[in-house]
Structure 1
């Protein structure tokens, strides 16, 4: 234990247990180094203000604007550090001693259930909103970690909570990096919570509404159920943020200066982006997955904008429409693929107001194959805009993905299989079917699909099949560098085979008179001609 000396008494059983818990997570060396840097030599304890600065998200010289602007959000960030310290660390007159430091870390970063971790996140949110003089109708029944919370959220409070989680996630991926903090549009997640938790929605239009001005009440119990069922990784941002800030203090020489340097820049609105997969949508997908996909999305889409195009495999407006163009870019990629479709449905004769635009997504845990049957081991469907929903595997069937090109080498098929890409359902009754020209997508009711969970893929879907016009298709690779290298090797091998097939052996055409081709031509020209065998 890095904080004790030989003159101190024997370690208590409680302290030993706390150190064992921290050691099981692999964080004990980091805690020892962080404590030695933060602690005062006189008191052998961490001054309260030092730890508050470590966890604080300062905004000196910053401004805050975004599409879903809430004026109180910068104030919430100002109080984040002090709220985290007060919630998890107990201080005496000299500061926070080693035992309380380890115990406080274990409270939020040790292995605990998802419900307890979510309770901690809500506690921090309640505390930080009170410090910012916001009125939030939430209250815990006791101080126990697993006690019940009563009250309700308003949509703007959900937006504040999600924005705070976004900033913590962004900060974890931008240690020692400078740049602007762009809080993306998270209205699709807020609308997901509202539509899932509120029975009487007040008649608002999900296609056109300002989530920050909605006045519907979201019961906190239903909100917690929504988080666990839809975005189960959301509470992890709290654990990751605390660990990342302590890790930064260990890496940098000056812990207080480094804690501010990780937050330099300006909190601003999101930059204009023509991708279907915006940062807000990418983050929403990432917090539904407890796998390497979560880490890959965070690395490429949340930490910075520079890595986003590295993961883009195909975009119809750039690489050309159609299944053949699509296949030439995704063939050989053996890692997880995220395929997105932006489409619009409605009647052109009714005016633009009748046309509804929405975005769907499908995540496969393996590359695509040219098959005339369904295949796959797992996957997810996503409704990304205007309302976010995730549809996990149901476990009843395994018709995860269907990707079939025109067959080669067959002149006639009595019962040809459909050419296109599909997800869920059965052949001829696919839940999502993209035609080979990438001009139309057909969406069917979840009743035809036993592979993915039930639910509407876009608002007001209805029971009848819906044909929509495709405006854009994207494919993003989430398999990391290994999958890219495998695809690169595959393409090199295919290019080599193609080049070899193009080469002509001139020796076979050295003597036309002796060639089989001339004999066949002669027979076709005059099949009745008398031919004498050459001896």
Structure 2
């Protein structure tokens, strides 16, 4: 057993290793895993058992959107052995309790962000080498914070991202992972293009709408790739640590499911079969920018079946519920929590197939409910360029013009300076960074120079300095406040519906009764006013009624 009894003398090394493991909160789990994996005669974990624990082997990974890079399946088959070789020191007979704790702390302990990214790249580089692929990343030592050099090509970035996606899935649905059959991986070219444009100088001939990920040999320096991860997808290394933690937890579960080709293939996250703007690849990219509990809610849209159906979070879709601010409002009103708004737009005639049409998707993450106001409001939020190139633009902290949502005024009071009707994000009145008109027919996107609320950057490729007016193709709103917020919104809608029905009811008993009517009350008031102002002039109330 890993833990020593009270009668045994605990060494200083063991106390130190257990103290470090306890600081991660995983010591009880590690005790159970060591008991499950170890050989009780040698009191060590055999290497093959530990390698199998971290194994990601499965057959025939596929992707509808992109051809599979050569030997990607072989790379996955060497991930388990690479993790063991890098972090777990084997002694005679296997890995001891102390080395098991040290290996866990090395791989999952609290470290700086750059060290965590370095750890992920070291695992990837070793798996690449063991799979017989060309080695492009170099490390000057075996230390966790060693300097990384070399380069990657776009196909390498795609394999790294897919590896992290598989690790993330493995940590979320452990029992249904593994086995044989086709495996659908998401379309991630928007993330690859983000890394390409961040990491190197590319020519003007690069067309992001028709970029060939596997055919491009542009070299992306390792140092710039590391900076891209830090700035754009800071949660990417968490996929590795979560996978290690989840794999160890799986090792001692009493009720283990035997993988089967049929059941596993059905539950593995396949290629998206719906037409939602928020598909698995885009949802996962957005989740990589978040480090709060919101990350887990977005992950439900990444992996169908994890934490409920993905469409349970869909509040509004213009192609389903109808276009326009009123339809939008009727579906989001009463929802109090974080919401993700996706806008698909097009420059050019969408029916023209001559290659000049440019379609793109942008996103807005809000952290509060929508309100019908003629001023900007909000406390925080993010803007996203989602397709064809992914980028995130969080709050700059300079201004708080996060959200503007203004419907047509209910009254008919004359306003010499009417406020624009629509939905906007960032900027100021007349110079909104994103403005969607009341009909949801057009979206106007302005240069980041007009906006001090969100960080600067282009919301679609080749945006330029002038305002761009594009045709809205579709709008989606997803709620990420969980089931409670959805239930509260449902109660709110039911209550509003009840009030509306009550206001429409007419009391038939008093209908047509002059004595109880509002008109009779108004006539009496006019009579009193006449008597006060003109006491000597005759006033025939019956004649006034006729008039």
- The aligned counterpart of 1:64 is 62
- The aligned counterpart of 1:284 is 285
* 1:166 and 2:176 matched: no
The 3-state SS of whatever aligns with 1:241 is helix
Q: Deviations over 1:500-534 (max 9, x none)?
A: 2123334543732563425768999xx9973489x
Cα distance between partner residues in 1 of 2:427 and 2:349:
27
The 3-state SS of whatever aligns with 2:175 is coil
* 1:297 and 2:298 matched: yes
The 3-state SS of whatever aligns with 1:176 is helix
Q: Deviations over 1:73-96 (max 9, x none)?
A: 111111111111111111012100
The 3-state SS of whatever aligns with 2:214 is helix
- The aligned counterpart of 1:122 is 121
Q: Is the 8 A contact 1:195 1:201 kept in 2?
A: no
Q: Is the 8 A contact 2:510 2:516 kept in 1?
A: no
The CA RMSD over aligned residues, in Å, is 2.7
Cα distance between partner residues in 1 of 2:242 and 2:78:
18
TM-score by length of 1: 0.92
Cα distance between partner residues in 1 of 2:441 and 2:540:
59
Q: Is the 8 A contact 2:170 2:177 kept in 1?
A: no
1:29-44 correspondence to structure 2 within 5 Å: 29-44=28-43
Q: Deviations over 1:281-336 (max 9, x none)?
A: 00000000011111111134325386111010000000000000000000000010
Q: Is the 8 A contact 1:311 1:477 kept in 2?
A: yes
- Structure 1 residue 212 displacement after superposition: 1.4
1:113-192 correspondence to structure 2 within 5 Å: 113-177=112-176, 181-192=183-194
- The aligned counterpart of 1:457 is 459
TM-score by length of 2: 0.90
Q: Deviations over 1:240-275 (max 9, x none)?
A: 000011111222356xx7699999438896133201
Cα distance between partner residues in 2 of 1:504 and 1:3:
77
Cα distance between partner residues in 2 of 1:368 and 1:268:
32
Deviates more, 1:419-428 or 1:478-487: 478-487
Q: Deviations over 1:122-144 (max 9, x none)?
A: 00000000011000311101111
The 3-state SS of whatever aligns with 2:344 is strand
* 1:28 and 2:48 matched: no
* 1:84 and 2:86 matched: no
1:84-483 correspondence to structure 2 within 5 Å: 84-177=83-176, 181-201=183-203, 203-253=205-255, 264-265=264-265, 270-304=271-305, 307-346=309-348, 352-483=354-485
- Structure 1 residue 162 displacement after superposition: 0.4
Q: Is the 8 A contact 1:381 1:452 kept in 2?
A: yes
Q: Is the 8 A contact 2:283 2:302 kept in 1?
A: yes
Cα distance between partner residues in 1 of 2:334 and 2:440:
21
Deviates more, 1:283-292 or 1:296-305: 296-305
Cα distance between partner residues in 1 of 2:383 and 2:431:
16
> What 5-or-longer segments of structure 2 have no aligned partner?
531-537
Cα distance between partner residues in 1 of 2:294 and 2:319:
26
- The aligned counterpart of 2:487 is 485
The 3-state SS of whatever aligns with 2:502 is helix
Cα distance between partner residues in 1 of 2:263 and 2:106:
25
The 3-state SS of whatever aligns with 1:342 is strand
Q: How many residues align?
A: 527
Distance 1:14 1:49, change over 3 A: same
Q: Deviations over 1:59-84 (max 9, x none)?
A: 25x45344222132111111111111
Q: Is the 8 A contact 2:383 2:392 kept in 1?
A: yes
